[in-house]
Amino acid sequence: MSFYISLFYASEYVNVIAALLEYFYADVQIKFEAFISRKRVINQLEFFHKNPPTFAPEPLCLK
């Protein structure tokens, strides 16, 4: 009987560890995606700062 109780507690322990790992992985994945998107925006801003567009938009002619 005690063998089954210890198996039950061991399985609960494994479930808790799996849930913590899943939470940690999701948190790291969200932070990584935010870092990548922020880095992409910074790269675009630096590119347009170094290479400004040479065209000027045509003004709208209101008649």
What is residue 59's three-state secondary structure? coil
Q: Model pTM greater than 0.75? A: no
pLDDT per position as a tens digit, 25-62: 888 888 888 888 889 888 888 888 887 777 766 666 66
CA atoms within a 13 Å half-sphere pointing along the CA-CB vector of 41: 5
Residue 31: both structure tokens together:
């932070």
Q: What is the pLDDT of residue 51?
A: 79
Say how far apart CA 34 and CA 59 lie, in whole Å.
Answer: 37
pLDDT per position as a tens digit, 8-35: 778 888 888 888 898 888 888 888 888 8
Statement: residue 63 has pLDDT above 60: no
CA atoms within a 13 Å half-sphere pointing along the CA-CB vector of 36: 6
